[in-house]
Structures are given as C-alpha cells and as structure tokens.
Homo-oligomer: A and B are copies of this chain.
C-alpha cells in the first residue's frame, strides 16, 4: 500500500490566500486556495512556494502540506528568516504561485496495522495529512508529540481528534511529560511495537528516533529538510547520502526509509 506519487505530473498553480493566522508564538497557519494541487497531493508531499516577487531573496521555499480541505491547502509555518517573515505578512486575497505536489510522500508498508507518528515542533506539519489518511484506512495511530512548551504543540487538536492515542512531552513540562519526545518514543516502541514509525522534527531528534526504531527492529521513515533551489530534482542542492548513493530530498524524499540514510555523510542540518 503506497502513497508514492512520484510519477504524477507536477503543477504550477497560482494560489490565493484564504486566511493566514498566528497559531502559536512564531508559528502561522496559512490556507491557500489551490484546487489542482489540493486534489493531487498525497500525505508527506510538499509545495515549493514563491512567497514574493521583486524581493531581494529569489528562491522558492518548500513547505509540507499539513492538511487539505476541499480546494484548499493548509500550511503550518514557523517564522525564521525573510521568506517566512514575508509569508506571515500575507493577507487574504494575496496571490502566490507554487509548484506541487512535490516529493514521494510517506510510504505505508503492506500490512501496517499500527503506526507511531513522532512530531518534534513543526515536524507536526507533514504528519497532519498522514494521520488522517491512516485513520481512514483503519490503521491504529499513536502520536508522540514534543515541543518546547504547550503553546508550541501545533496541530495537537487534529492529532487528538484523529489518532487513537496522543502522548505529549514538553521541554518545560507545561503539557504532558517534562523532557524530550525521544524518551516517550523509547517507551512507546517498547510497549506497543508499532509496525512503522514516521518521524519529522529537528534532524538531531529524527536521528535518535530512527536509531531507536531500527534498534527495535521497527520500520521507520524520516522526513528530512534540505536546502532546496529547484525543488524538482534538477539542481542537486538537496542531496541525502543513502546506501543507494546520493538521493535528492525533493524527488526521492523528503521521506526516506531510515535504514537507508547514511547520517554521518549527510548534511549538517540547517541552523533553524
């Protein structure tokens, strides 16, 4: 059972902002009317957004599709640099063009009955569509979500409404367990033995969770962030070292089988 979509046509669509609101400190949720991409996108895929024209920054910015509702894409974004600052300033009616759907999306192994989703901070973004899709297929989903504080537990409501079980940890103990999500994961893997673990979050966290899963003999997929110029496989800026050689995160990922990734040969994660 695959959600792979790599052979699908990539679209260039002029999207219109339906709403854009702050959902946590430094985090926004933007909703874009983008019917053609909305109908084609699969969980784990992303769009490459041209936030601004005429700005001194040129490149598009990659963002995961958090959810799709009808013709609309939801994107959860963290404000970090000039691109995301400009994104935060977009008001209803603004237009932006995007390329999508991009990437292969998450892969659901045949026979999966129980999945563990691990979200670190904004890593929740690409797990939104996934939790919905898995639930629809009757797969039991546990979400382990970590963030610095309660407020930063973005998409918590979605997870609580959709997953069978949600476990929380915060660095400051303001919600769930105090500590890192990796401690939660250790216990959940041991106790529940999921068929597959899906991870997205800071790369350091992702690596630890991958190791935990693989050590326990559980399949694991990780979503990796890389600097991306083209987003469509042409420029080779987004490479990930794997057992099968250099792969491009934009077309061969961003979700990779954790067992394939050669972590130490891979990129120093972007600073954010």
Contacts and interface: CB of A to CB of B under 8 A. Distances in A.
Contacts of A86: 54
A55 interface: yes
A260 interface: no
A56 interface: yes
A71 B3 CA distance: 61
Oligomer: number of copies:
2
A56 B57 CA distance: 8
Contacts of A56: 54-56
A54 to B, nearest CB: 6
Nearest to A82: B54
Interface range on chain A (Cβ under 8 Å from partner): under 10
A89 to B, nearest CB: 10
Identify which of A55, A57, A82, A86 gathers the most chain B CB atoms within 10 Å of its CB: A55
8 contacts: A54-B55, A54-B56, A54-B57, A54-B82, A54-B86, A55-B55, A55-B56, A56-B56
A86 B57 CA distance: 17
Given A54-B57, A54-B86, A56-B56, 5 more contacts: A54-B55, A54-B56, A54-B82, A55-B55, A55-B56
Contacts of A82: 54
Which 8 A-B residue pairings sit nearest by Cβ, starting from the closest? A56-B56, A54-B55, A54-B56, A55-B55, A54-B82, A55-B56, A54-B86, A54-B57
A260 B86 CA distance: 49
Contacts of A55: 54-56
Identify which of A54, A57, A82 gathers the most chain B CB atoms within 10 Å of its CB: A54
Interface in A49-63: 54-57
A32 to B, nearest CB: 21
Nearest to A86: B54
A55 B53 CA distance: 9
A87 to B, nearest CB: 13
A86 B52 CA distance: 13
Interface string A23-57: 00000000000000000000000000000001111
Contacts of A54: 55-57, 82, 86
Identify which of A56, A57, A86 gathers the most chain B CB atoms within 10 Å of its CB: A56
A57 B54 CA distance: 8
A251 to B, nearest CB: 29
A262 B130 CA distance: 73
